[in-house]
Structure 1
Amino acid sequence: MTPVTSPYRRYAELKARLPLIAILRGLRPSEVVDIGQALYDGGFMLWEVPLNSPDPLDSIAALRAAFPDVLVGAGTVLSPAQVRDVHAAGGQLVISPNADPAVISATVELGLISLPGILTPTEAFTALEHGAHGLKLFPAELASPAVVKALLAVLPQGCDLFPVGGIAADTMSPWVQAGATGFGIGSSLYKPGKSAQTVREDARAFAQAWQALEGA
């Protein structure tokens, strides 16, 4: 349970284990331990608390304290000031719906993992030029596996690309075949009011579906 000091090294290790990011929009600080344990039991080790959740920085700090070997961070990060707030709360991962160079640069300067949102090649290359460690294809509902394949044909080899939006355990296959690194999983994994036990069961279903695709 000893955390690795480098967020990037830990990101690489956890991504290799299960490249699925839990998006915990609406999570409350009072439930972080129960929901965190459910995700942990299900194999999820990359967690995002969107900043439009209730008291998100408190939730990030609590998750970091309770689960030190998990990579925890924030989503919907829209400004360098928010990046600094996430860093102060102990967050190690910064995810945005857009590719703002100022946000990416602030994230990299603080030694955090940057996964900005992109939808076009121009946005993708701009994000990478400013130091993004990977890319969030968002919203995936506006894209397709064919878009993933086309992007990866021109992006640097080994570029991480995570489709986010509308992903279910039984819809991952065509994206993976196109080259997707992994996925951000939102309401099909967690939403306010969902019990920890149901989150645990759904997390395990996602993990098993991913493992089946890896073994295919």
Structure 2
Amino acid sequence: MPITLKEAMSQMPLVAILRGVTPAEVLDVADVLVTAGYRVIEVPLNSPSPYESIKLLSYKYGNDVIIGAGTVVTKEQVDLVEAAGGRIIISPHADAELIRYSKAKDLYCVPGFFTPSDAYAAINAGADSLKLFPADAFGPKGLKAMSVVLPDIDILPVGGVSPDTMQAFLDSGAKGFGLGSGLFKAGMTISQVQQNANAYVDGYRATLT
């Protein structure tokens, strides 16, 4: 049986966001991430040939890692992600119709939010988790205040998260993180990605002690 989102996040609640990754390098990057412990990998759709990268990742890691797309804003994109073997739809916004469409296809859905209204719209539409974006603009204090009025759902800060800020966000109600340019950006060497990947994993594990 393929790994579930709950299982993946319980193993390592860090989502690798590979914005700008190319199909030629995506498997080498993913090898480093999977070895470091990552179990959710997102290819934003504004990357070069994103569906090809998703297809390559899904073929190699589909049973052990949740593979999917970010920056998904249309139903047509959801269809293309599904056709490429992706299992998770991550959006920058809380579009209730898009969430329902994704869930009807039995895909995981993690929409972005920035207000309680956004959060409730996404939750009521069936979102599996929520992406707080941009997290660095909101901050741990903002998350803690908003968490008081939200139901029990995993919130993943995305945007400006560093190993040093993880503890504050977790103390404020976060359940995991989405990691973008601090983990990977176009032009990085594999050794740089490996160093960043391990630093985030070490930073998260340090919060457990």
TM-score by length of 2: 0.96
Unpaired segments ≥5 residues, structure 1 = none
Q: What is the distance in 2 between the residues matched to 1:210 and 1:57? A: 30
Q: Percent identity?
A: 42
What corresponds to 1:65 in structure 2? 59
Q: What is the distance in 2 between the residues matched to 1:199 and 1:118? A: 28
Secondary structure of the residue aligned to 1:47 is strand
What corresponds to 1:22 in structure 2? 16
What corresponds to 1:208 in structure 2? 202
Aligned residue runs from structure 1 range 121-136, under 5 A: 121-136=116-131
Aligned residue runs from structure 1 range 1-216, under 5 A: 3-4=1-2, 10-68=4-62, 69-157=64-152, 159-215=153-209
State whether residues 135 and 160 of structure 1, in contact with CA within 8 Å, keep that contact through their aligned partners in structure 2.
Answer: yes
Secondary structure of the residue aligned to 1:206 is helix
State whether residues 41 and 200 of structure 1, in contact with CA within 8 Å, keep that contact through their aligned partners in structure 2.
Answer: no
Shift of 1:28: 0.3
Secondary structure of the residue aligned to 2:8 is helix
Q: What is the distance in 1 between the residues matched to 2:84 and 2:49? A: 11
Secondary structure of the residue aligned to 1:35 is helix
The worse-fitting range, judged by mean Cα deviation, of 170-179 and 111-120 is 170-179
Letter in 2 for 1:192: A
Shift of 1:67: 1.5
Secondary structure of the residue aligned to 1:181 is coil
State whether residues 38 and 199 of structure 1, in contact with CA within 8 Å, keep that contact through their aligned partners in structure 2.
Answer: yes
Superposed structure 1 runs of 4+ greater than 4 Å apart: none
CA RMSD of aligned residues (A): 1.0
Letter in 2 for 1:19: P
In the alignment of these two chains, the number of paired residues is 208
TM-score by length of 1: 0.93
Unpaired segments ≥5 residues, structure 2 = none
